[in-house]
Amino acid sequence: MAPRARASSPSAGSGGDDAGDLYDDLIDDLLYDPAVGRATMMGYPCVRLAGRFLACYDDRAQCLVVKLPKDRVSELIEDSDGEAFAPAGKVFREWISIPTIDRDLWQTVLAEAVDFARDSLSQHE
């Protein structure tokens, strides 16, 4: 897969949204599902599906952080669409930080995170 063009500023890829507003808009779109709700994780605003973490917003770095399968995380890093999520130096293999403010990319990885959480739930039933 060819690398995606990276937006270097909010106006370049998101229609002028800043990262926090974009996160809130996209999370609001997920809340139609009664299994999805807002919470906090490590002090960050986050969203969960039936208790499973999906994503959070790192307001200090102004980036989206999502939980995805390890292979997908590796692919996004390889394509330069994300960076390893490593708070306090510990890499979380199923989490990726998306520093580029890109509405389409954020929407895509959030949908993938919902699917990953749903798959995880169905495997534990």
Delineate the domains of the chain, giving CATH numbers in brackets: 15-123 (3.90.1150)
Q: Residue 124 pLDDT > 80, yes or no? A: no
CA distance 91 to 99: 16
Share of residues in the chain with pLDDT > 70 (%)? 85
Read off the pLDDT of each residue in 35-50 and give the average, rounded to a whole number: 92
Query: What's the angle, vertex CA 111, arms to CA 12 and CA 34, rounded to 5?
Result: 125
pTM (predicted TM-score): 0.82
Over residues 97-116, mean pLDDT: 96
What phi and psi values does residue 46 have, to the nearest 5 degrees?
Answer: -140, 175
Structure confidence by residue, pLDDT tens digits, 5-41 = 333 333 344 444 599 999 999 999 999 999 999 999 8
Mean pLDDT along residues 101-119: 96
**For residue 62, what pLDDT is reported?**
92
To the nearest 10°, the Cα dihedral for 56, 12, 83, 26?
A: 20
Inform me whether the pLDDT recorded for 90 exceeds 80.
yes
